[in-house]
Structure 1
Amino acid sequence: MKSAKHVHKNDNTTDGQQAPSSIRRLSIERHGSPGTSTSNYSNTQILDDDDDFQDAVDIDAPQFEMDLDTALEEAKLAINYFFNNKFDDARNLMQPWANTSMYHSIGACVFAFLEAILTFEQQHIQEASESLKRCLSVCNRYRRKNTITESLGKTFRRPNYDQYTETEVHAELCSAEALLLKAMLTFIEDETLSSLIKGGMKIRNCFNSYKECAVILNQRKWSSDSSKAHFESGVRMGIGSFNLMISLLPGRVIKLLEFIGFSGNKQVGLQDLIAGYNLPGIRQVLCVMQLLGYHLIVCFVLSHQEGDLDFCDEILTKQLRTYPEGAWFLFFKGRLEFMKGNLDESIKWYKKSWRSQNVWPQFHHLCFWELLWVNCLKLDWRESSLYAGFLVEGSRWSRTIYSYQKAAVLLMLQPNELSDLDRKTIDLLMKDAPGYKQRIAGKSLPMEKFICKKCDRFFAQKRNLVLPAIELMYLWNIFKVAGKHFHIADGILRIIDKKLNELLEKNKKEPYDVDNKALTLLLKGACLRYMKSPLQAIKCLEQVIAFKSEIKEDTYLIPYAIVEIGLIYAEQGQKDNAIACMEDVKKNYTGYSLESRLHFRIHAALTDLKGKTNEYINPLQD
């Protein structure tokens, strides 16, 4: 560790006076105290393009500062603490210097941000917001201050980044990271349209900041390979994440984003994240998290595609060697086994992740969500309802979804397996679920809106729904996992066939008979697709489409069935037919439940089928 030095400030310290013991181990002399009148570090600059932060610059200038190398060392140590579940150690290392060091400040923000999104508590959201304001003020203090002439000149030509100190360029990157966290937090701070717009503008500012950092990386002559690696890993992570995120959005959204200056390319995004993963920078592990999240979650939820499971296996082998008890990597290991269809193995890893730490019980909810669906695939409805209940009781993310899911799972039990308490619980959950519905920018969340309709249907059908948990499994794209092993898919197919036969044998006509038959046929067709029985699958799906004029409420079944047929054509190499199906749904169907969810899948399929690669200039290339 570096030796301590003192900084003279406001006559409170004098030459020869020893720094306080809490900071004696740190090197603190850099360009002078931020309280002195230096041209590089002013404590009064208004933060760029963000009025919300203009009142956040009144942080008292610290008497002592930490040099960049020491800050990077401590940030790396905090990351090791964090991913080894030593959350308090990591927080305690960051917090004392959160008003002084940009890397300690951004580290403290990450903790506050994670707590906010895991708990959804207004108090934690507000604390995270204040922490981010403070962080942006700290970063701003270290960013290069341009004269009026330099600012005007910057409009017409690039500044000479060789004149920037390494501290100044790292301040640009930390500022971009804080802006990204703040933009993401804005979406949950309140539920108004203005909040949504403000969040979008902050993301645009953040994107531009990352692009500027990419220019700095390319044009600057670096005197320290270590400092460059830390900087580059952050730039790769930011640019790569934006590329990946934007590339996943439906085409009409991408066109709008490109109009206001965004651009995205999936392959470039993945390449940047892999490059960041292979660098020895402090953000290397964050690139790892992005890659695992994309391959193991995003691919499976938002598209028909499958992530690169072999690559994830390789990453996790290395990370678990470094962080053997780390909750995050144990969770991703469980997710990897789940995506492989190794259900018992995935349960083992999810439980190990859940039990590895108790500092953040909200993290347990991620494991409970996964364990709910793993047990659904095992057809262990009682065990699945246990985890669904944990979510209802403990998580604030969406009580509407959680309440309905528990009721849906209990409804899968045979009538003779349901106790009176079970029936009362189902009734109460179905009654209460709509009351928890959230609104963002004045609109209900699509899945919550869908569930509210299902709750109404439950009571309209004399306290009954058709295969509600299997319908959710289909909508969450969990059928993809069932297709990994014949016996898993076959178990689900048997339940679907039994229900279909019951519906076909009914003598008494009821209002939602056609809807229920169409739903059962869609589930059967999708299941048969994953069981590699395309002809039988298409037969079921065409029957769904034939019900088009008779379906009373579940109009989403028709476009979903057409897309399933399109995916079968794609798997058979019939590209033209597959594209025709996707385009048919895009152009001719609208206003149905979960429309945006289907459009994500259509976009991913068309991108593959048409071999689209956006014309794109990578800011990380000269």
Structure 2
Amino acid sequence: PARTTHSSSVFPSGMTPMTLKESLDECMEALDLFLNNHFNESLERLRPRANESMYHALIYATVLEMQAMMTFQHDDISNAGNTMKSAQEVCQRSASITIRFCCQSQSINQSINLHAEVCYAECQLQRAALTFLQDDNMVSFIKGGIKVRNSYLIYKELHSYIQSHDSVKGPSHIHLEGGILFGIGAFNLTLSLFPARILKILEFAGFSGDKVRYEFEYPSHVFKDVITSPTSPVVHSWVCFLYSAVLFRNTVCPSCMMAVKLFEDGCKAQHAWKQFHHMCYWELMWCFTYKRVWKMAYFYADLLSQESRWSKAMYVYMKAACLSMLPVDEARPFGENEIELFRQVPSFKQKIAGKSPPTEKFAIRKARRYKAQCPARLPVPVLEMMYMWNGFTMIRKRPELTEGMMQTLVEAERTLLESPENEYSVDDRCVIHLLMGLCLKNQGKAQAAEDCFNKVYASEKKIRFDHYLVPNSLLELSLLYIDQGRRDEAVRVLRKAKNNYKDYSMESRTHFRVHAALAKLKADQEEITHL
């Protein structure tokens, strides 16, 4: 029949067959619509062929998954999961149709099958994510883990193939290569974060790789295609939506207010998907936190607590934390009271993939002291949470922001010294010393920063609740040593932070940072050896 003369991956009933290139072109047009805030138009462009074309099916399901992950509604998650499962079936069917009907060369058959494989692997990975979100029981966790493993093995095999001499550059090879490199790169990046003992366990499940140095040295022409590959719309849309504003906030912005304007413009750009606003609200909350405009930071935390389902415990904690930074006699917005808000935090605890998010656990632990009838106030809860989200690194190039934080810490220390001793006093002083050390480091006062970190370490046996403080102070001390070129001392302190402490808040985060520092030192040493 005439239809067999097309190098087609799709044969929709009642519709004109499309070549693989035509299918990809239309999908990229739909993706462009999505990235320009025309969400419904994008879905309408994809829907007619979503039951027949592998790329239409994948991107259509991916858009629905993005929506589900943002709304966090059970019905949306269930619908996205079913659609992604259908997309996976379309990928399987596309490969078999190609084999049965395509009359062109073997190389074209092979190329289209490879496209189907990479789409299938992406479907598997996204279905795993939805499985983790949908149910928090062990069976779902195992099912999700199997999907992740299968996806990884497919990507690994495809990556080996495109690097081999047998690789045939068929139609739309750049899209294929970009999709494969995006997938294997994402897995390698994730694996590189895990400590050695976790990696050893993962190797039994089929994961492998050099955790110290992964190879991302791909041809330069590939980079653009990895980002624009139709198999990576989630990352692409996130980058396009937030990149410029985050860049301004983190690095070159002459004023936080420029970042604020960019985020506000992001909210004005569209109103169809309110959840995109929540990403901006989160960033705006931190922008005003860095400027110590506590009421505005509270305002955006309040919006998140009302509208977003992602982490109500965190949002309510941040509301309370912002209010606690205001003078005691100053009126609170909406008549809210930080003590009552802190007491509400545990009631919003949730689980994802069977576990509570570490930052929620941290917030709940910190809020516990407010259960008492006469609670001992947290000295600087916003700044402490800011540290957990890497905020002091964010402001290191903004001396006026660091100076503002230092003033807040000095005032908090004075208040603490003037207050009666209680069971939290040592912990609270150590929190302040750790954060002061970070400010002093930002200001280039290395010896003073070192003294602060050592004060925390010296108080190790007196700390009663915030046991995370000691390993994190050692971590920050080692990073200070690295900046000073004191490599051997840095390694010694890093190993102490890594091996001598366990079962403390945000432990995985600290281990990741320790691992990254050790890996960097090792890589630097290898580079010196080669020289």
Match of 1:263 in 2: 208
1:72 and 2:24 correspond? yes
In the superposition, the TM-score normalised over structure 2's length comes to 0.89
The Cα of 1:353 is off from its aligned counterpart by 1.5
Check 1:341–1:537 CA distance in 2 against 1; reply closer, same or farther (3 A cut).
Answer: farther
Say if 2:155 and 2:184, in contact at 8 Å, map to a contact too: yes
1:129 and 2:81 correspond? yes
Distance in 2 between the 1:192 and 1:210 partners?
27
> Which of 563, 566, 576 is the matching residue for 2:478?
566
Match of 1:445 in 2: 357
Distance in 2 between the 1:207 and 1:435 partners?
37
Distance in 1 between the 2:123 and 2:220 partners?
22
> Higher mean Cα deviation, 138-147 or 405-414?
138-147
Distance in 1 between the 2:227 and 2:333 partners?
58
Distance in 2 between the 1:269 and 1:287 partners?
23
1:552 and 2:464 correspond? yes
Match of 1:81 in 2: 33
Secondary structure, counterpart of 1:435 in structure 2: helix
Distance in 2 between the 1:498 and 1:138 partners?
62
1:333 and 2:244 correspond? yes
Check 1:32–1:478 CA distance in 2 against 1; reply closer, same or farther (3 A cut).
Answer: closer
Say if 2:8 and 2:98, in contact at 8 Å, map to a contact too: no
Aligned ranges 1:95-494 → 2 under 5 Å: 95-144=47-96, 162=107, 164-217=109-162, 218-220=164-166, 222=168, 224=170, 226-264=171-209, 268=214, 270-272=216-218, 275-279=221-225, 283=229, 286=232, 289=235, 329-340=240-251, 342=253, 343-419=256-332, 421-422=334-335, 424-440=336-352, 442-460=354-372, 462=375, 464-494=377-407
Say if 1:250 and 1:603, in contact at 8 Å, map to a contact too: yes
Greater C-alpha Rg: 1
Check 1:372–1:571 CA distance in 2 against 1; reply closer, same or farther (3 A cut).
Answer: same
1:598 and 2:510 correspond? yes
Say if 1:483 and 1:530, in contact at 8 Å, map to a contact too: yes
Match of 1:585 in 2: 497
The Cα of 1:505 is off from its aligned counterpart by 3.2
> Higher mean Cα deviation, 80-89 or 474-483?
80-89
Say if 1:407 and 1:426, in contact at 8 Å, map to a contact too: yes
The Cα of 1:279 is off from its aligned counterpart by 4.0
> Which of 442, 445, 448 is the matching residue for 1:536?
448
The Cα of 1:493 is off from its aligned counterpart by 0.4
Secondary structure, counterpart of 2:385 in structure 1: helix
Paired AA for residue 362 in structure 2: F
Say if 2:250 and 2:395, in contact at 8 Å, map to a contact too: no
1:502 and 2:415 correspond? yes
Paired AA for residue 240 in structure 2: F
The Cα of 1:415 is off from its aligned counterpart by 1.6
Paired AA for residue 351 in structure 1: E
Distance in 1 between the 2:185 and 2:9 partners?
36
The Cα of 1:432 is off from its aligned counterpart by 1.9
The Cα of 1:612 is off from its aligned counterpart by 8.1
The Cα of 1:223 is off from its aligned counterpart by 6.2
Aligned ranges 1:603-618 → 2 under 5 Å: 603-611=515-523
> Higher mean Cα deviation, 174-183 or 434-443?
434-443
Distance in 2 between the 1:425 and 1:250 partners?
41
Check 1:605–1:327 CA distance in 2 against 1; reply closer, same or farther (3 A cut).
Answer: closer
Say if 1:437 and 1:444, in contact at 8 Å, map to a contact too: yes
Distance in 1 between the 2:18 and 2:94 partners?
12
Deviations 1:181-229 (A, max 9, x none): 11222211111122222222211100111123224434556464x5111
> Higher mean Cα deviation, 454-463 or 188-197?
454-463
The Cα of 1:278 is off from its aligned counterpart by 3.5
Distance in 1 between the 2:439 and 2:333 partners?
33
Say if 2:179 and 2:231, in contact at 8 Å, map to a contact too: no
Distance in 2 between the 1:408 and 1:347 partners?
21
Deviations 1:53-92 (A, max 9, x none): xxxxxxxx84545332221111111121122222112111
Check 1:281–1:607 CA distance in 2 against 1; reply closer, same or farther (3 A cut).
Answer: closer
Say if 2:95 and 2:116, in contact at 8 Å, map to a contact too: yes
Check 1:519–1:564 CA distance in 2 against 1; reply closer, same or farther (3 A cut).
Answer: same
The Cα of 1:396 is off from its aligned counterpart by 0.5
Pairwise CA RMSD: 3.0
Paired AA for residue 204 in structure 1: R
Deviations 1:27-59 (A, max 9, x none): 99667997xxxxxxxxxxxxxxxxxxxxxxxxx
Check 1:93–1:564 CA distance in 2 against 1; reply closer, same or farther (3 A cut).
Answer: same
Say if 1:278 and 1:284, in contact at 8 Å, map to a contact too: no
The Cα of 1:444 is off from its aligned counterpart by 3.0
Deviations 1:373-396 (A, max 9, x none): 011111111111111111100100
Distance in 2 between the 1:102 and 1:185 partners?
19
Say if 1:161 and 1:220, in contact at 8 Å, map to a contact too: no
Distance in 2 between the 1:198 and 1:81 partners?
34
Deviations 1:325-360 (A, max 9, x none): x88525210000111162122112111112111111
Paired AA for residue 252 in structure 1: R
Distance in 2 between the 1:282 and 1:363 partners?
20
More helix by share: 2
> Higher mean Cα deviation, 578-587 or 267-276?
267-276
Secondary structure, counterpart of 1:602 in structure 2: helix
Secondary structure, counterpart of 1:133 in structure 2: helix
> Which of 44, 51, 59 is the matching residue for 1:92?
44
The Cα of 1:570 is off from its aligned counterpart by 1.0
In the superposition, the TM-score normalised over structure 1's length comes to 0.77
